[in-house]
A and B are shown apart, each in its own frame.
Chain A
Amino acid sequence: MKLDNRLSQDGTTLTIELADKFDFEMVQQFRQAYAELDNSVTEVVIDLSQTSYMDSSALGMLLNMQRVLGQQVKCFRLINCRETIRNIFQIARFDKKFDIE
């Protein structure tokens, strides 16, 4: 169970890449990934290219992140979603709060 986070070279974009499963077991790690964020960051990208499985706590984690960072970060993108994952976001109407690609 691993998670990758990296900052773009200009320091404005934080990318968090999830593993095969994005579920409740990731709660602490996911929170860690954006804790103590540099002031320069204005965009957060969640890369789900490796993710096949997601539960509702993942939705909670994403919303939580948006709440905590909402003052600083203007753009939250969910990228490389597979069809299943995209459908779950659609059901949860996440397209209203995130850019889903």
Chain B
Amino acid sequence: MRLLVVDADLSQRSALAALLQQLNYVSVSHIDDIDIAGELIHQRAVDMVLVDWQILQAQPDAISRCKNLAGQLHLPVLVILNKQQRQRHAECLQLGADDVLLRPYRPVIIEAILRAHSRARILSEQLEQQNQELKRHQVSIQREHAIVEHIFANALEINADAQQLMDFHLAPASNFNGDLFLLNTSYMGTLYFLIGDFTGHGLASAIGALPTAKAFMTTSAKGLPVEEIAATLNSTLRQLLPGDMFFACIVGEIDNAGVRMRIWNGGMPPLLLFSAEGELRKEFNSQHMSLGIMEPNEFERDVMQYIAEPGDRLLGFTDGVTEVTNQAGRMLGVQGIKRWLSDTPDIDIHQLITRLEIFRGPGKQLDDITLFSFRCGQLPAEKARIVPLMPWHFTVTIEGEDIRLINPITHLIEQLSAQRGLHRHSGYLFTILSELYANALEHGLLQLDSSMKDDDEGFSAYYRLREQRLAALNSGKIRIEMSFNPRQQQIVICVEDSGQGFGYKEMQTGPQGLDALHGRGLNLLRCLSGNVEYADGGTRVTVVYHLDN
């Protein structure tokens, strides 16, 4: 405790300083000028000031000046009065003094008074230190939040193409959103959406958003069925989230025509489908538990399917919307939303939000609010599709024992899928290439007869014989040639084998009935590609696949 004595009388202040040192106050200085005291206080070199009444008489504002210079920190200022000045006691306190010391001094009293004021000073110092720590903490938290918010904003941003397909609004109750809304288009051009709500709100509940978004984006791009996407999210979240946290969520897929929908709903308010006139057509109610609860083997895959009419409207929302409460304490509820839609079928998302705010009145938004609306009808799929522009041409020749060892179709499909814009065709190209290659190998080189496949036993026997003959094959050649013409957006596939040819003419008029176990391939080929042409006695076949189909 650093004490400062301010007194114009040298002998008096030396006497007091000596007494204070006797009382074990080691750091005591004494001066005759209150202005110098001000300087020391400003530098925080003093913890308590003892000032003689004489000084105050000359400068009545001395105490308040000292206090001001000390700032937030409490600086005890005590006034020294002699016998004649005792009646000034109240005046001193009015001037801002914390206490008075009476001269002549009674050491026991002086010691007690100083100890009391030292305590006050120490408390004030501790308080200030804690305040500063809090401030530093707050600043660092704010910085961290800003960083995380930035990452979230970028990771959860919906790409511009998908944004145009739906109307939506997200309003978090705090910096971080415990609600999640995601859109994506699959490689087939179908539209996937996810609307969900983590328990709670704020950072703790937003933490699951990143892995969820990542898993959703990857699986939806591949065109997985919604229940498989939900199952994947469930396993991810089950592993990740603490036991008391879970994620209510709807995963939906809408086809290119914008009417056929598949919906998996776990723990969310219903999705509502309205006709253009605002009549409720269908409610997709929750059928499952929220994600992150069930063990993977208990997970339920039931999905709701519906075919809407063009012009219908699908409306989705989180419970932050249905639980908005007006001033009379009444909740909006799903019924409230249905009423609004039937009153005003054309109401857009923006107007719905305004209406929600009016309903709530001046009350505070308590939960995250998310709303989306989709107008049924043809998706502008071409926008989402990438059109390949680079021409290419390649040939693969497989011969000798390689025919036995390699199935080139899988490799070819992998390569084709990696081409820009071709991934969504890979399923059809697989079927076409498999068919062409099977014909070249099984009929051209292995001389197998398809009519064997006409009954169950024969079907299996055919494939067993295929295996046997393939295992014995040491010579022969199959050549696959593929070229892409970007102007016509078509892939020409030509497959040639070194075999004897086969009765393709007979095949073309062969059994075509629904029940026939063979002869189906050619029909498939014809439907999937515009043109199938055989040449050289059936040892060479060329098909043209159009990307536009």
B474: CB under 8 A from chain A?
no
A19: CB under 8 A from chain B?
no
Assembly CA distance A56 to B227 (angstroms): 27
Chain B residues closer than 8 Å to A53, beta-carbon distance = 413, 426-427, 430-431, 434
A55, B430: Cβ atoms closer than 8 Å: yes
A75: CB under 8 A from chain B?
no
Instruction: Pick the contact of B227: A61, A80, A88, A91 (CB < 8 A).
Output: A80
B517: CB under 8 A from chain A?
yes
Chain A residues closer than 8 Å to B255, beta-carbon distance = 83
Assembly CA distance A35 to B456 (angstroms): 12
Are A63 and B524 CB-contacts (below 8 A) given A56-B431, A82-B188, A85-B427?
Answer: no
Closest to B303 in A: A80
Q: Give, as a whole number of angstroms, the nearest-CB distance from B529 to chain A.
A: 11
Q: Give, as a whole number of angstroms, the nearest-CB distance from A12 to chain B.
A: 17
Chain B residues closer than 8 Å to A60, beta-carbon distance = 453, 459, 517-518, 520
Chain B residues closer than 8 Å to A55, beta-carbon distance = 430-431, 434-435, 438, 521
Are A80 and B225 CB-contacts (below 8 A) given A56-B431, A88-B431, A91-B528?
Answer: yes
B223, A92: Cβ atoms closer than 8 Å: no
B390: CB under 8 A from chain A?
no
Closest to A90 in B: B527
B224: CB under 8 A from chain A?
yes
B531: CB under 8 A from chain A?
no
Chain A residues closer than 8 Å to B514, beta-carbon distance = 93, 96-97
A27, B460: Cβ atoms closer than 8 Å: yes
Chain A: how many interface residues by the 8 Å CB criterion?
A: 34
A24, B438: Cβ atoms closer than 8 Å: yes
B85: CB under 8 A from chain A?
no
B225, A52: Cβ atoms closer than 8 Å: no
Chain B: how many interface residues by the 8 Å CB criterion?
A: 35
- The 8 A CB mask of A24-61 against B (1 = contact, 0 = none) is 10011001000000000000000001101111110111
Assembly CA distance A21 to B431 (angstroms): 11
Chain B residues closer than 8 Å to A52, beta-carbon distance = 426-427, 430
Chain A residues closer than 8 Å to B426, beta-carbon distance = 52-53
Q: Give, as a whole number of angstroms, the nearest-CB distance from B408 to chain A.
A: 13
- Point out which of A21, A60, A61, A82 has the most chain B C-beta atoms below 10 A from its C-beta: A60
- Point out which of A24, A53, A63 has the most chain B C-beta atoms below 10 A from its C-beta: A53
B456, A64: Cβ atoms closer than 8 Å: yes
B370: CB under 8 A from chain A?
no
B105: CB under 8 A from chain A?
no
- The 8 A CB mask of B526-537 against A (1 = contact, 0 = none) is 011000000000
B463, A28: Cβ atoms closer than 8 Å: yes
Chain A residues closer than 8 Å to B438, beta-carbon distance = 24, 55-57
Chain A residues closer than 8 Å to B453, beta-carbon distance = 60
Assembly CA distance A27 to B456 (angstroms): 11
Chain B residues closer than 8 Å to A23, beta-carbon distance = 434
B188, A83: Cβ atoms closer than 8 Å: yes
- Point out which of A27, A54, A83 has the most chain B C-beta atoms below 10 A from its C-beta: A83
B357: CB under 8 A from chain A?
no
- 7 new A-B pairs (CB below 8 Å) besides A52-B427, A91-B524? A31-B460, A49-B227, A52-B426, A60-B518, A63-B517, A88-B431, A97-B514
The 10 closest A-B pairs by CB, nearest first: A84-B427, A55-B434, A56-B521, A53-B430, A91-B527, A27-B463, A80-B225, A49-B225, A83-B188, A60-B517
A-B contact pairs, 20 of them (CB 8 A): A21-B410, A24-B463, A27-B460, A31-B460, A50-B228, A53-B413, A53-B427, A53-B431, A56-B438, A56-B524, A63-B517, A82-B188, A82-B223, A82-B225, A83-B223, A85-B427, A88-B427, A88-B524, A91-B523, A101-B305
